[in-house]
Amino acid sequence: MATAYDFDATAADGSTVPLSEYAGKQLLIVNVASKCGLTPQYEGLEALYREFKDSGLEVLGFPCNQFLGQEPGTDAEIQDFCQVTYDVTFPVFGKVDVNGPRSAPLYAHLRAEAPGDWGPQHGEFYEKLKDVTPATEPGDIVWNFTKFLVGRDGHVLKRYEPTITPDRIREDLGPSQP
């Protein structure tokens, strides 16, 4: 069975990054956007990365423009925004689709491993989005800042819907010291 480490990603500079480079590490994979109401989650993602990177956590950001065009910039503009606005030091890759026929193969895999629990339990945010971005396939990502926690074996441990902020993920990461 495939793991997240079996896929490649495209870096912001266009180069190919085999995710096998991260084998044995815990990954937090997030579809990100710079013009979204949830964009301040970059701050929390960076805080998690700085706290847990020495114990093997990698945060991997994947910009996506599929949700009301909230990531319209070029890959270079996105890199600049992340560094200048949020002092992001974790990798932010090239822009991808996370749903549909052009979905990045990594995201097709993540959605299949962890279909999610998007529904009324997510309250007001769910009510606002249910008619804006209806999921067309089971497991589709419904909005920016959906997060997948991947274990050291490369399999998805947990999916966090957009309303789950990075600080609420901390307890699932374990101690920050190696």
Q: Residue 177: is its pLDDT beyond 50?
A: no
pLDDT of residue 126: 60
Enclosing H/E stretch for 47: helix 41-52
pLDDT band at 39 (very low <50, low <70, confident <90, very high): very high
44, 150 Cβ separation under 8 angstroms? no
Distance CA 142, CA 130 (A): 9
pLDDT of residue 135: 57
Q: Residue 19: is its pLDDT beyond 80?
A: yes
Distance CA 46, CA 41 (A): 9
pLDDT of residue 178: 45
Distance CA 146, CA 169 (A): 12
More confident residue, 177 or 146: 146
Q: pTM of the full predicted structure?
A: 0.91
Q: Where are the domains of the chain?
A: 4-170
Distance CA 173, CA 38 (A): 21
Q: How far apart are the first and last CA of the chain?
A: 29
pLDDT tens readout for residues 52-111 = 999 999 999 999 999 989 999 999 999 999 999 999 999 999 999 999 999 999 999 999
pLDDT band at 128 (very low <50, low <70, confident <90, very high): low
**Top CATH class, 4-170:** alpha beta
Q: Any idea which residues carry the catalytic annotation?
A: 36
Neighbours of 139 (CB within 10 A): 17
